[in-house]
Amino acid sequence: MKRGCISLGQVKCDDCQRIIPHPERYLALDREDGTTERFCVDCSLKRGYARYKMERGELVLTFMEEVVEEKDQAEGEEKGEEKKEEEKE
C-alpha cells in the first residue's frame, strides 16, 4: 500500500539515504512481507511511484497510480457497452 506522508524531520530515504526535512513529503510503501520503505519525492519520481499532474489549473504531486484512472475509464467503457446491449434487447 502506498501512503503519501509529511516528514517530521526524522525520516531517511531508503534509496538515496538522505534525511527528509520537515515539512517535505515522502512516500511510505508497505511491502507484502510487512516491511515499509520510505522514499523522498526525487526518488519516488525516479522510480515511477509519483508523478505531477495538472489539477484545476495547478501542478500537483501525487503518489497515486495512473492505473487507477485507467481502471475507472475501463469501467466507464464497460457500463457504456452494457447500456448498448440493453438498448438492443
- CA neighbours within 13 Å on the CB side: how many for 2? 14
Domain ranges for the chain, please list them. Answer: 2-88
Burial zone of 80 (CB within 10 Å; 0-12 exposed, 13-18 middle, 19+ buried): exposed
pLDDT of res. 27 = 95
Neighbouring CB atoms inside 10 A of 6's CB total 11
| pTM recorded for the entire structure | 0.68
pLDDT of res. 78 = 53
pLDDT of res. 64 = 78
pLDDT of res. 39 = 96
Residue pair 38/14 in contact by the 8 Å Cβ criterion: yes
Q: What are residue 55's DSSP bridge partners?
A: 58
Task: Give the whole-angstrom CA distance, residue 77 versus residue 88.
Answer: 17
Low-confidence ranges of the chain (pLDDT < 70): 65-89
Task: Give the whole-angstrom CA distance, residue 76 versus residue 59.
Answer: 26
